[in-house]
A and B are shown apart, each in its own frame.
Chain A
Amino acid sequence: MTISGLGPHGERAAPPERVSLLPEDIAAVKAATRRVAIVLHTLDGDWTRLQISGMLGVFGDCGVVVTEVVDCGFSADRQVAELDRLIAANPDAIVALPVANEQVAAAFGRVSAAGIRLVLLENVPTGLLPGSHYTSLVSSDNFGLGRMAAAGLAPHLAQGAAVGVLGFAADFFATNEREIAFTNWMQANRSDVQTHVLRFGAVDEAADLAERLIADHPEISAFFVVWDTPAMAVSTRFAEAGRSIVIATVDLGEDVAISLATGKPFVSVAAQQPFQQGVVAARTTILALLGRTIPAWIALPGVPVTRDNVADSFQIIWRKPAPREVLRSLGLTP
């Protein structure tokens, strides 16, 4: 599958195969004990769990020790403090997901200035450059995910429909790309559809914002929310109110998969491959530790999921059987 987006600096994507490990790479990295720290936006949720699991497996196979997995709780201040603490601990490399843009840029700059290899996930604070401030960015094709969600939602929209778009208020590469791509796809392919955008700063604001959008634009019949946890919150709020809407989002969380299988309100999901992404991030880090040439942006394509392929997609993405409720809704199990 092709990558439709461009990197944070306009780079063309390199495929994940570009960072495969050869037996001699593994032997070389095992020759010394290397320490890596992982710094994530949150440790909650399936996406993070799978991402960490993908990384830990590869690091373990290569004799690289993960010294800690840090939870930044979506807080820029906390991330800055954790990075400064880690600089003192001086690991060989840090794999990190920057939770914000400007507020954390200087702290990430200090990491690379301290000689610690830095591999970024999903987001690059503006002003940081590959090669000088970080080694590489590993992310999903977030632009592609936004387009995929839009294309999946479009058949469920009547002529002239209105769609509420809930973006993320933080200046964040991944969610920015999804939001821009979704509205761009609609403008290009369904110019009859109106989009109304609001952005939430915290996950628990999403449902309130969705209600506000509906109050301002009662004609809204569908939502696109830039990831699954806030999308579930919106779904629950409207279910409680007895309001019928359809939703598209990114990431096939378990609850979203169950909803998708029943046919409502989730109708279109553009899923990332978090396990695979973790594997690629770990391989990239290992090649960085060995001083190999690495592309500035490595992107993984998304998986379009609808009711028709939710059971098998769930297995591909989460590496476990689909929940019983999913199989039951699809008539695949009693």
Chain B
Amino acid sequence: MSPHAAETAESSRTRGKGRPRNSETAAPSLVEILNLIRTERATTRQALERESELGRAVVADRLQLLADLGLVDESELGLATGGRAPRLVRFAARRGLVLVATLDQTAIGVGVSDLSGNLLTEHHEAADLTAPVAHLASRLATLFRWCLERQSIPTAPWGISLSVPGTVPSLRDGAFMTATPPVLPAWADFPLVETLTRQFGVPVWMRSSVETMTMGELHAGAGHGLRSMLFIKVGRRIGAGIVCDGQLYRGAQGAAGLIGALPVQSDGLTGTLDAMAGSDMIQREGRAAADTGRSPVLADLLRRGSEITPIEVSQAAQIGDPAAVAILSKSGHLIGQVVATLANALNPDLIVMSGTLAQTNDILLAGIREAVYGASHPLVTRDLRIIRSQMGSSAGLVGAARVASEAIFAPAFLKDWIIQGKPTLHPDFAAYCARAQIAEVPQSVAAPPSVQERIAP
């Protein structure tokens, strides 16, 4: 057994008889107090006593323990309201870091966030997701190490959170991922989750890109503070993120919001929304309009040797090319019809449109707005706002960071690591690591010793 595992096994063992340890009885109140501080529902000792309904001595004792663990900081003074200024109790969000990444078909983004989900560093670069997964894992590891090196105060990571281009099944057992879900066909043959866990010694979480972007928009973007929101991502596929009562709704299998699979009709043809309105359709129809000369702008681009991608079609539409305008308008109307159905079912405060086309093309957005306003109950659209996302791919990184921080501090997970001081010492994770260590780390992706020292937990 590794020293790491021995330490945790000892501390989590319950006594056979006699009084329980202080640490065993303290955990529930520690969890409650830490989460009150972390979510800023209580920022002074008095507020903590009031919110937790615990006595002054208990709150003082737990705060001392949390301070010893480095999880809270009481060095700041608040505003005096007559008498002495109260000491503010702050969550030490820099105690650990979260490594985050977004993987989509053509780009990867990486970043580092603090434990409250605030992004500290980010970088995006073009990538080919159809390349071998080992290359992708190696590139991710290189960029994660680069992100950690960039931090002015070297701090250990506490978790990795990935945003991926496909549905991630809900975890049935356990609080973190222990196997790589087959989100993409190639992942069946490569243990991405296991490799990252082994290299960085931290738990891994994963969500679909629509889910992470929805979380990002909800916590740091236009949806901040809202209880009900729809997030629609338009790309090759079209998906929806659903926020009800301030929470992301994942559904029974983690597959809520797959609206791209719904059948729609246009020009006498029936097909899925993905096929009839997604960026593949825009590219295909744009190319046809260039070939036949229906679109003078696209035909000119083609003559100059330019490729016709959805971006070109979108730009042509923006400058008034009639054929391109018709293509984007058709896509917008079809998406709008489906979104209207969802809006009538959920009555959101806000609909956020995301994806390169939705964020840059006015005609597409106008088509969506027209269809939603035209096909919805007046009460649903009375105060409804339909806007484009301003966050770009950062939404995915910010959202992935929130996924990790919510998972790390979920009461059921937190209660078993809080006494140890960090989630990497959670008994289940330590046991998983001990099993995973048996497999050898591939040399090509192992961290150099100097880096391993710096990031050692």
Interface of B is mostly: mixed
In the assembled complex, the Cα of A295 lies from the Cα of B118 at a distance in Å of 25
In the assembled complex, the Cα of A132 lies from the Cα of B123 at a distance in Å of 20
Given contacts A9-B391, A9-B394, A129-B394, contact A101 B360 (CB under 8 A): no
B124 near A10 (CB under 8 angstroms)? Answer: yes
Instruction: Assess whether B146 is interfacial by the CB under 8 Å rule.
Output: yes
**Hey, which chain B residues are within 8 Å of A101, CB to CB?**
120-121
B102 near A10 (CB under 8 angstroms)? Answer: yes
User: Shortest distance in angstroms between A201's beta carbon and chain B's nearest beta carbon?
Assistant: 10
Closest to B392 in A: A9
B311 near A12 (CB under 8 angstroms)? Answer: yes
Instruction: Assess whether B381 is interfacial by the CB under 8 Å rule.
Output: no
Instruction: Assess whether B122 is interfacial by the CB under 8 Å rule.
Output: yes
In the assembled complex, the Cα of A168 lies from the Cα of B385 at a distance in Å of 43
Contact string against B for A residues 279-295, beta-carbon threshold 8 Å, 1 for contact and 0 otherwise = 00000000000000101
Contact-residue bracket for chain B: 20 to 34
In the assembled complex, the Cα of A177 lies from the Cα of B111 at a distance in Å of 13
Closest to B388 in A: A131
In the assembled complex, the Cα of A176 lies from the Cα of B390 at a distance in Å of 23
**Hey, which chain A residues are within 8 Å of B102, CB to CB?**
10
In the assembled complex, the Cα of A213 lies from the Cα of B390 at a distance in Å of 42
- CB-contacts of B391-432 with A (<8 A): 391-394, 396
Contact string against A for B residues 146-168, beta-carbon threshold 8 Å, 1 for contact and 0 otherwise = 10001010000000000000000
In the assembled complex, the Cα of A181 lies from the Cα of B146 at a distance in Å of 12
Instruction: Assess whether A208 is interfacial by the CB under 8 Å rule.
Output: no
Q: Which of A5, A8, A176 is in CB contact (< 8 Å) with B150?
A: A176
In the assembled complex, the Cα of A334 lies from the Cα of B396 at a distance in Å of 60
Instruction: Assess whether B28 is interfacial by the CB under 8 Å rule.
Output: no
Q: Which of B126, B221, B356 is in CB contact (< 8 Å) with A129?
A: B221
A7 near B124 (CB under 8 angstroms)? Answer: yes
**Hey, which chain B residues are within 8 Å of A12, CB to CB?**
311, 356
User: Shortest distance in angstroms between A202's beta carbon and chain B's nearest beta carbon?
Assistant: 15
B125 near A11 (CB under 8 angstroms)? Answer: no
Instruction: Assess whether B73 is interfacial by the CB under 8 Å rule.
Output: no
B390 near A126 (CB under 8 angstroms)? Answer: no
B126 near A126 (CB under 8 angstroms)? Answer: no
Instruction: Assess whether A315 is interfacial by the CB under 8 Å rule.
Output: no
A126 near B356 (CB under 8 angstroms)? Answer: no
Instruction: Assess whether B119 is interfacial by the CB under 8 Å rule.
Output: yes
In the assembled complex, the Cα of A143 lies from the Cα of B125 at a distance in Å of 8
Instruction: Assess whether B370 is interfacial by the CB under 8 Å rule.
Output: no
B125 near A102 (CB under 8 angstroms)? Answer: no
Closest to A130 in B: B390
Given contacts A5-B125, A127-B118, A131-B390, contact A10 B109 (CB under 8 A): yes
Contact string against B for A residues 139-155, beta-carbon threshold 8 Å, 1 for contact and 0 otherwise = 00001000000000000
Instruction: Assess whether B107 is interfacial by the CB under 8 Å rule.
Output: yes
Instruction: Assess whether A6 is interfacial by the CB under 8 Å rule.
Output: yes
Instruction: Assess whether A4 is interfacial by the CB under 8 Å rule.
Output: yes
B146 near A10 (CB under 8 angstroms)? Answer: no
A180 near B143 (CB under 8 angstroms)? Answer: yes
B121 near A171 (CB under 8 angstroms)? Answer: yes
**Hey, which chain A residues are within 8 Å of B142, CB to CB?**
187
B120 near A180 (CB under 8 angstroms)? Answer: no
B362 near A126 (CB under 8 angstroms)? Answer: no
In the assembled complex, the Cα of A181 lies from the Cα of B125 at a distance in Å of 9
- CB-contacts of B111-149 with A (<8 A): 111, 118-126, 142-143, 146
User: Shortest distance in angstroms between B356's beta carbon and chain A's nearest beta carbon?
Assistant: 6
Instruction: Assess whether A184 is interfacial by the CB under 8 Å rule.
Output: yes
User: Shortest distance in angstroms between A112's beta carbon and chain B's nearest beta carbon?
Assistant: 12
In the assembled complex, the Cα of A132 lies from the Cα of B102 at a distance in Å of 22
B391 near A129 (CB under 8 angstroms)? Answer: yes
**Hey, which chain B residues are within 8 Å of A232, CB to CB?**
none
Closest to B146 in A: A180
A6 near B124 (CB under 8 angstroms)? Answer: yes
- CB-contacts of B199-222 with A (<8 A): 220-221
In the assembled complex, the Cα of A233 lies from the Cα of B118 at a distance in Å of 37
B123 near A177 (CB under 8 angstroms)? Answer: yes
**Hey, which chain A residues are within 8 Å of B146, CB to CB?**
180
Closest to B109 in A: A10
User: Shortest distance in angstroms between B431's beta carbon and chain A's nearest beta carbon?
Assistant: 35
Nearest 6 pairs of A and B residues by beta carbon: A10-B393, A9-B392, A10-B124, A131-B390, A6-B124, A9-B394
Q: Mind listing 19 A-B residue pairs with CB under 8 Å?
A: A6-B124, A6-B125, A7-B124, A9-B122, A9-B392, A9-B394, A10-B394, A11-B392, A126-B119, A126-B122, A129-B391, A129-B394, A130-B390, A131-B390, A171-B121, A176-B150, A180-B125, A295-B360, A296-B390
Point out residues on A near B: beta carbons under 8 Å: 4-12, 101-102, 126-127, 129-132, 143, 171, 176-177, 180-181, 184, 187, 293, 295-296
Beyond the given A6-B109, A127-B118, please list 15 additional residue pairs across the A-B interface where CB-CB is below 8 A. A6-B107, A6-B124, A7-B392, A8-B124, A9-B124, A10-B109, A101-B121, A126-B111, A126-B121, A127-B119, A129-B390, A130-B392, A171-B150, A180-B146, A295-B360
